[in-house]
Amino acid sequence: MDSHRDVRMDAGELLAFAAAMFKAAGLGDADAGVMADSLVGADLRGTHSHGLIRLPFLVARLRDGGANRQARIKVVREAPGTALLDGDRALGAITATRAMEMAVAKARTQGIGFVAATNSDFIGACAHYAMQALPHDMIGVAWTNGFPGMAPWGGRRNTIGNNPIAFAAPSGSHGPVVLDMALSVAAGGRIRLAAKRKEHIPKGWVLGPDGEPTDDPADLAAGGALLPLGYKGYGLAVFGEILCGVLTGSNILGEVPAWFTDTDRAIGNGHMHMAIDIARFIEVAQFKRRVDLLFEMLKATPRVPGVEDILLPGERAWRTHQAQLVEGIPVPRAVADDLLTLADRLGVPAPMALS
């Protein structure tokens, strides 16, 4: 067997396999499906740093008690256009999905819905939740705080989260416009994936435990720090703490434990979700035509040598999603081996193609 060979898997088969693993770890059918959809959805879009590579860590949170297998999410405060949810330590994707569904429902009656959550957990790729607004002809926003894996601007140690944020808007004849970005130069999951593949990373992404730039992705887990996306990324990360942490009464900065190592501890972070009903501002068909025009105008920009196309946010991910629905999702051999080990431990039959 080639230890470096990716395994290409059908998305539906991976969904069923991931859901079975979450069920074996103690989740009910519906919540297991939500979790599987969040991970496989990330892989489908090519965001493998937030896909199935995360599954063993999330199962560990359930089995070690850091996350609640039978969580009962409840509304703490509510008004016509807003709500605050208590996630009851559910895995973050479960609470985030519920929050975005509520935001969409509120936007349908109020024009805008803003739903935040506290007592939550790692939510994964923010785009997954922002895109929940798209089938309803709405614009979606999702933002979360989390473990302080990033150094502040000018700092040498990790004292703030990279606090990712995502926006999603529909178009007419193109795919959706989706911006999903960590506020560090590179997302922590991307660094961990490089470590799993034993690849080097560019200097300028991570500081080692000694506070110096490094090209070894393993230095992040050894006590290093992500570097912020300049002072602007750091400034946005601060507001991520304010809107997702302070506003919701959640943990902030060093109060948030590392979800991927402290699997027996509650995370207690917060996140916010917003849906905007396009029809309250402009006719939906006109909005989509204008977004299409925006595509065309930007793509008409003269390009620098070596650039074949001007891409809009989310365009590459949309193409990847469409292609991988047909061709299957590539799972790195190292990730496949981790999944096989976990499946054996949980007593879940693994797909033959993964072996």
pLDDT over 60 at 2, yes or no:
no
pLDDT over 60 at 1, yes or no:
no
Q: Could you give the angle at which helices 55-64 and 333-346 cross, rounded to 10 degrees?
A: 30
DSSP for 168-203? Answer: EE--SSS--EEEEE-SBSS-HHHHHHHHHTT----T
Q: What is the pLDDT of residues 171-225, one digit of tens each?
A: 999 999 999 999 999 888 788 878 878 899 999 999 999 999 999 999 998 899 9
Query: What pTM does this model have?
Result: 0.93
Cβ neighbours of residue 153 closer than 8 Å, sequence gap 6 or more: 228, 230, 231, 233, 234, 235
User: Three-state SS for 260?
Assistant: coil
Identify the pLDDT of residue 62: 97
More confident residue, 134 or 49: 134
Identify the pLDDT of residue 74: 98
Q: What are phi and psi of 282, to 5 degrees?
A: -160, 150
Cβ neighbours of residue 150 closer than 8 Å, sequence gap 6 or more: 158, 159, 160, 161, 162, 183, 184, 225, 226, 227, 228, 237
Cα gap 234→5, rounded to integer Å: 37
Cα gap 205→217, rounded to integer Å: 9
Q: What is the pLDDT of residues 227-247, one digit of tens each?
A: 999 999 999 999 999 999 999
CB 215, CB 193: distance < 8 Å: no
Identify the pLDDT of residue 6: 83
Average pLDDT rounded to a whole number, residues 284-303? 97
Q: Which residues, listed in sequence order, are joined to residue 118 by a DSSP beta bridge?
A: 86
Domains (ranges, CATH) in the chain?
1-64+325-355 (1.10.1530.10), 71-184+228-300 (3.30.1370.60)
Q: What is the pLDDT of residues 42-100, one digit of tens each?
A: 999 999 989 999 999 999 999 999 999 999 999 999 999 999 999 999 999 999 999 99
Indicate the Cα dihedral angle 140, 246, 236, 238, nearest 10°: -160
Cα gap 287→88, rounded to integer Å: 38
| pLDDT over 90 percentage in the chain | 91
> In whole numbers, what is the pLDDT of the chain averaged over residues?
95
Cα gap 103→116, rounded to integer Å: 9
Q: Which residues, listed in sequence order, are joined to residue 178 by a DSSP beta bridge?
A: 168
User: Residue 148 corresponds to which amino acid?
Assistant: P
Q: What is the pLDDT of residues 294-332, one digit of tens each?
A: 999 999 999 999 999 999 999 999 999 999 999 999 998
